[in-house]
Amino acid sequence: MANSNLPRRIIKETQRLLSEPAPGISASPSEDNMRYFNVMILGPSQSPYEGGVFKLELFLPEEYPMAAPKVRFLTKIYHPNIDKLGRICLDILKDKWSPALQIRTVLLSIQALLSAPNPDDPLSDNIARHWKTNEAEAVETAKEWTRLYATGA
Amino acid sequence: MDSEDDMHDANDLESVDDDFYSGDTGMGSDDGDAHYDFGDNESDDSDDITSRQQQNYAILSEADIRQHQGEDISRVSTVLSIPRYAACILLRHYNWSISRVHDEWFADEEHVRKVVGLLEKPVEMPNARELTCGICFENYPRDCMNSASCGHPFCWACWRGYISTSISDGPGCLMLRCPDPSCSAAVGQNIVELLATDEDKEKYSHYLLRSYVEDNRKIKWCPAPGCEFAVEYVIGSGNYDICCSCSYNFCWNCTEEAHRPVDCVTVAKWILKNSAESENMNWILANSKPCPKCKRPIEKNQGCMHITCTPPCKFEFCWLCLGPWSDHGERTGGFYACNRYEAAKQEGAYDESERRREMAKNSLERYTHYYERWATNQSSRQKALADLHSMQNEKLEKLSDRQSQPESQLKFIIEAWLQIVECRRVLKWTYAYGYYLPEHEHAKRQFFEYLQGEAESGLERLHQCAEKELQVYLDAESPMKDFNDFRTKLAGLTSVTRNYFEHLVQALETGLEDVGSSNSQATCSKSSSSKILGNKSKSGKIKPAGASSAAGAPSRSMDDGNLWSCDHCTFANPKATNTCHMCEHHR
Ligand SMILES: [Zn+2]
Ligand SMILES: [Zn+2]
Ligand SMILES: [Zn+2]
Ligand SMILES: [Zn+2]
Ligand SMILES: [Zn+2]
Ligand SMILES: [Zn+2]
Ligand SMILES: [Zn+2]
Ligand SMILES: [Zn+2]
């Protein structure tokens, strides 16, 4: 139903995501709703998330691309810019969204956020405080969570 | 830079930046204060509290705002040799300050261009027959695409959607940039006009208009609910009182209701205090009180404070202090004291009711005294305003009919009501002032309460005359012989009351500096020197020749016995003195 008059842009983006996936990222549309994507991002090397496989969901709202896609982590993750519901604090998903951005650029930005957490613009105050007061310990916790929640299962 | 310095006010350091280039904006703000005689706190232009002619502001309708905005844009566009849409973007960025735009531009054009997204050399779209839209990824003929000055092509439908989304997000659309995330080229009104829907064009232009008022430090909306006028103010010009075309009076500085002669800080403190105490004070605003004699509840449904209990009691008392009116209206030795907290306290007025006893704590009792007077004058002013309107709209015609007087001969009645409305406002704020006047400044307090009491008792007489005595002539079946006496009396009371209030306002605005007889000479010499200097309109208003002679007779007859009215300034002085308290003029 939602797929009947899918804009050409979404079809093109989807085709390209499938034919030339970005390294460490996979995104595939759900069978019954072409606006809903199952996403997997590999934890970047040299980050506390290395070795983890993180599941996300991405949804393209009716107004897309005039409005940003909605993205959320499904895998539990210890990160100052991601809260316990998996919501992500990323400027391009909010006021810096531009219709010339794409699903691919969004996912690449999220991958980059895993490599470079930004505790100065936190979504989760507790984790951000932890990061700022004792970064080594916070990184240990992030690694621990990656091991617990983002591997195997 | 001379004119800029003229605009510079010590209280308003930021004002330096404004408008030394701006030309004919309709109020000539570029000329510094050449056109405006703002006074300098020393002069007595503060004396006229009813009809200030010289204005340091202009009221702008929507059409005026658009015109001013258009003129500013043209000016920047001409001086900088840039298109109008670019001038508009620049002005918006620098909060509509022409001088700021010019300063920044001529200091570092490259930097300014970068910050606001105006490219020096526009880039054309790629020269191909077909181009791919960066939003919908479709290919279109080059003619069906558009770009900002950066050359990034998007199709019309995508532009329309992009602009529409931004406009529906609010005034941020005025700072729209190219959709390409790596590009910061500004998207101006030219592109909106070319590509957006009519509805969006209108919304955009509305945001632009609002920005010109809301982001501009020289312009504000009138705060009256529903009013669509804006006010352009000459920054640094001193007097903050604004009278909007909708008839609402407000303070430019704090946008509260006009509160001259009380300063904004006191007003803010007072308003805060009122909201903190509002629960305790609700009962004060009740419209009914027990008659001090027969204890039956009496409702106040008039503006003046002189209450007469219903028959058979008929006791005449003061709504505020519940004391006999005979202590108020007539001079029975001593001075009018209803306004004084200490006097009220001594007479035990605050033991009057159960409720007041509960409020025994001195601080609250003291506040109650001032708050009640502040609030009652406020409601009294509302009543007077309504009376003024009904007078203008219906009663004057009726009176003209009943008394066989042409309406043109009845202007003195409107003038009386205008004076009452204004005086209620001033009087109201002097109670906030009185509350914050330090207890230990005895001399100042005494002087203040004396002036306030004089003004208040004058106003009560005027209000009573306009409210009750006039009624007789309205109700009369046929013209009454003594209508001319009434005219003389009301016009006289209006003039006397105006004088009292002018003294009061002036004294408060100079911080009660004139307290003590040696200083009071300053008041006198100031006003006379300004007359010598030929300051016609001002001195004319302080003491209109015609009005003062009309005022002389009734005020003297009213001050029977205990007071004498000064020939020079009409101030009522106690019999025991031979020199006027206000101006040192000898009897
Ligand atoms: Zn397009
Ligand atoms: Zn661009
Ligand atoms: Zn207004
Ligand atoms: Zn103010
Ligand atoms: Zn009674
Ligand atoms: Zn009265
Ligand atoms: Zn009283
Ligand atoms: Zn005098």
Decide if A12 and B137 are in contact by the 8 Å CB cutoff.
yes
Q: Using a CB-CB distance cutoff of 8 angstroms, which residues of chain B are in contact with residue A105?
A: 181
State the pLDDT confidence band at B88, using cuts at 50, 70 and 90.
very high
Residue B149 confidence (pLDDT): 92
Q: Rounded to the nearest whole angstrom, what is the distance from the C-alpha of residue B472 to the centroid of ligand 7?
A: 25
* Residue B307: predicted pLDDT: 85
Q: Three-state SS across A114-142?
A: HHCCCCCCCCCHHHHHHHHHCHHHHHHHH
Provide the shortest C-alpha distance from residue B165 to chain A (in Å).
7
CB contact under 8 A, A100 and B138: no
Question: Among all ligands shown, which has an atom nearest to the Cα of B60?
Answer: 3
Region B151-163: what's the mean pLDDT? 95
Residue B520: the pLDDT is 39
Max CA pair span of chain A: 52
> Is residue B46 pLDDT above 90, yes or no?
no
* Chain B, window 372-431: residues with a beta carbon less than 8 angstroms from a chain A beta carbon: none
What's the pLDDT band for B303 if we cut at 50, 70, 90? confident
Q: Answer yes or no: is pLDDT of B96 > 90.
A: yes
CA of A98 to nearest chain B CA: how many angstroms apart? 6
State the DSSP code for B256. Answer: S
Contact A99 B138 (CB under 8 A): no
How far does residue B571's CA lie from ligand 8's centre (Å)? 5
Q: Does B23 touch chain A (CB under 8 A)?
A: no
B222 in catalytic set: no
Mean pLDDT highest for which of A130-144, B289-303, B435-449?
Answer: A130-144
pLDDT over threshold 70, residue B123: yes
Nearest to A100 among B138, B161, B179 (CB): B179
Mean pLDDT of B148-155: 94
Average pLDDT over residues B327-345: 64
Supply A107's token pair: 């996912």
Q: Quick one: closest CA in A to B167, which residue?
A: A66
From A142-146, B338-342, B400-404, the region with the lowest mean pLDDT: B338-342
Confidence of residue B148 (pLDDT cuts 50, 70, 90): very high
pLDDT for res B167: 95
Q: What is the pLDDT of residue B227?
A: 95
Mean pLDDT, residues B133-159: 94
Considering only B47-61, B154-168, B187-201, B365-379, which range has the smallest mean pLDDT?
Answer: B47-61
Can you list the domains of chain B with their CATH numbers?
Answer: 119-207 (3.30.40.10), 266-340+357-513 (1.20.120.1750)
Going by pLDDT thresholds of 50, 70 and 90, the confidence category of residue B419 is: very high
Please give the pLDDT value at position B34: 37
- Tokens encoding B504: 């009061």
Q: Are B117 and B186 in contact (CB under 8 A)?
A: yes
pLDDT at B347: 63
Catalytic residue among A82, A89, A123, A128: A89
| pLDDT > 60? residue B14 | no
Per the model's pLDDT, the better-predicted residue between A70 and B535 turns out to be: A70
Q: What percent of chain B has pLDDT over 90?
A: 53
Over pLDDT 70: what percentage of chain B?
Answer: 75
Tokens for B180, please give them: 């390409």
State the pLDDT confidence band at B13, using cuts at 50, 70 and 90: very low
From the list B100, B96, B101, the residue with the least C-alpha distance to B214 is B96
Does B16 score more than 70 pLDDT?
no
| Mean of pLDDT values over B97-113 | 96
Which residue did the predictor score with more confidence, B177 or B44?
B177
Question: Rounded to an integer, what distance in angstroms lies between the CA atom of residue B403 and that of residue A85?
Answer: 81
Q: Poorest-confidence range of B461-475, B527-541, B556-570?
A: B527-541
Report how many Cβ contacts below 8 Å link chain A to chain B. 38
pTM of the model: 0.67
Q: Choose between B84 and B358: higher pLDDT.
A: B84
Q: Cα of B124 to ligand 1 centre, how many Å?
A: 18
CB-based contact B134 A105, cutoff 8 Å: no
Name the token pair of B287. Answer: 């419209």
Q: Do A99 and B180 touch (CB under 8 A)?
A: no
The answer to whether the CB of B220 falls within 8 A of the CB of B228 is no
Mean pLDDT of chain B: 79
Nearest CA in chain B to A12: B137
Q: Which of B461, B386, B459, B451 is nearest to B424 (CA)?
A: B459
Higher pLDDT, B372 or B44: B372
User: Helix (H, G, I), strand (E, B), or coil: what is residue B233?
Assistant: strand
Task: Match domain A8-150 to its CATH number in 2.40.50.140, 3.30.230.10, 3.30.160.40, 3.10.110.10.
Answer: 3.10.110.10
Q: Is B180 on the interface with A (CB under 8 A)?
A: yes
Please give all residues whose CB falls under 5 A of ion ligand 7, grouped by chain where several chains appear. B 318, 320-321, 323, 338
pLDDT of residue B571: 65
In this predicted structure, the answer to whether residue B76 has a pLDDT above a threshold of 50 is yes
pLDDT given for residue B51 in this prediction: 41
Task: Report pLDDT for B25.
Answer: 42
- In b/e form, how buried is each residue of B457-487, taking b as 16+ CB within 10 angstroms? bbbbbbbbbbbeebeebeeeeeeeeebeebb
Q: Nearest to residue B26, comparing CAs of B75, B2, B60, B51?
A: B60
Rounded to an integer, the average pLDDT of B237-242 is 88
The answer to whether the Cβ–Cβ distance between B161 and A92 falls below 8 Å is no
Beta-strand relationship, B288-290 and B130-132: unpaired
Higher pLDDT pick, A53 / B342: A53
Residue B465, pLDDT > 60, answer yes
User: Is B181 in contact with A7 (Cβ distance < 8 A)?
Assistant: no
Scanning B127-146 for CB atoms below 8 A from A yields: 134-138
pLDDT at residue B352 in the model: 56
- The reported pLDDT for the residue numbered B538 is 35
ipTM: 0.80
